[in-house]
Structure formats: structure tokens, C-alpha cells
């Protein structure tokens, strides 16, 4: 069984259902060849610290039974990611939210699913390290 942290970036219009659906999709992607996310255990959702208390994310985390971890823009910016974005940097102060937050939430573990987006939600997954 693989334990992962999912990094989440989202627009204000995104609802908790959108976040839950995106997280479930990225968990399924973490298990190539599997129809379900059953081989993966979700450890936490991670995001930019100023978004960590947003109701949509808090509700999604509650529905998924995991905590939310928030990281400062400077912490996120220090993580080298596969898909940096200047647009994200100008909006948040970090070139990545989802990928960097996943890595930090996983204790520095490797990114196993790069960013994927739908319905105003961007997610990525990293394998948790002990």
C-alpha cells in the first residue's frame, strides 16, 4: 500500500465536490492499471497556507477523512517541481501550489502524479516518506 499526500490548488468558485472528485481522480492515477484508488492511502491534503481554511477545502478534507496542511508561499517556492507556472507565481508568490504542496505534505517524498486539473481544481500526488 502506498501512502500519499495530495497537493491542491483551487479557484474560489470550486466547491468541495470538485475538490473531492479531483483528489479521487489523482489517487486512481497513482495506481496505474487499477480501477480504484484502493491501493493508495490518502495521508493529507496540502495547499497554500492562506487557502487551507477555505470552506470548500475543509469540507473536502472532512469528506475524505484527512487533515489539511498549509504551507507558506516561500516554502512552496523552495520546492523544485515538474511544471512551474509564472501565472501561479504572480498570483501566489510560488511557481507551484499543487505539486510543491504535495511534496511538502509528503515530507519531501517524490512526486508520483504531476499536476492535473478539472473544474477549477489542480491536484498532484507525492509518496509519503517515513
SS3 for 81-104 is CCCCCHHHHHHHCCCCCHHHHHHH
Q: So what's the pLDDT on residue 106?
A: 97
Looking at residue 39, what is its pLDDT? Answer: 74
What was the pLDDT predicted at 66? 97
Contact 8, 24 (CB under 8 A): no
Q: What's the pLDDT at 71?
A: 98
Q: What is the Cα–Cα distance from 51 to 33, expressed in whole angstroms?
A: 33
DSSP state of 72: -
Which residue is it, cell 491536484?
123
pLDDT value at residue 32: 58
What CA–CA distance (Å, rounded) separates 8 from 5?
Answer: 10
Task: Give 12's contacts (C-beta < 8 A, 6+ positions apart).
Answer: none
CA of residue 27 relative to chain centroid, distance: 10
Tell me the three cell numbers of residue 91.
498570483
Q: Chunked in runs of 10, what are the mean pLDDT values of the chain (130 residues)? A: 93 95 91 59 96 97 98 96 92 94 96 94 93
Instruction: Using alpha carbons, list the distances in angstroms from residue 124 to 10, 114.
Output: 12, 5
Q: For position 38, what pLDDT does the model report?
A: 57
Whether the full predicted model's pTM is greater than 0.95, yes or no, is no
Measuring CA to CA, which residue among 91, 94, 100 is closest to residue 7? 100
Amino acid at each position: 500500500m502506498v501512502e500519499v499526500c495530495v497537493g491542491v490548488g483551487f479557484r474560489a468558485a470550486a466547491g468541495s465536490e470538485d475538490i473531492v472528485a479531483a483528489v479521487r481522480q489523482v489517487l486512481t492515477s497513482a495506481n496505474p492499471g487499477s480501477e480504484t484508488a484502493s491501493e493508495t492511502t490518502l495521508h493529507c491534503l496540502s495547499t497554500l497556507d492562506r487557502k487551507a481554511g477555505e470552506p470548500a477545502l475543509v469540507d473536502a478534507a472532512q469528506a475524505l477523512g484527512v487533515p489539511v496542511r498549509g504551507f507558506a508561499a516561500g516554502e512552496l517556492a523552495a520546492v523544485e517541481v515538474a511544471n512551474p507556472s509564472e501565472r501561479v507565481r504572480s498570483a501566489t508568490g510560488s511557481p507551484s501550489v499543487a505539486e510543491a504542496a504535495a511534496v511538502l505534505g509528503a515530507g519531501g517524498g517524490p512526486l508520483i502524479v504531476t499536476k492535473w486539473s478539472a473544474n477549477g481544481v489542480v491536484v498532484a500526488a507525492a509518496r509519503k516518506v517515513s
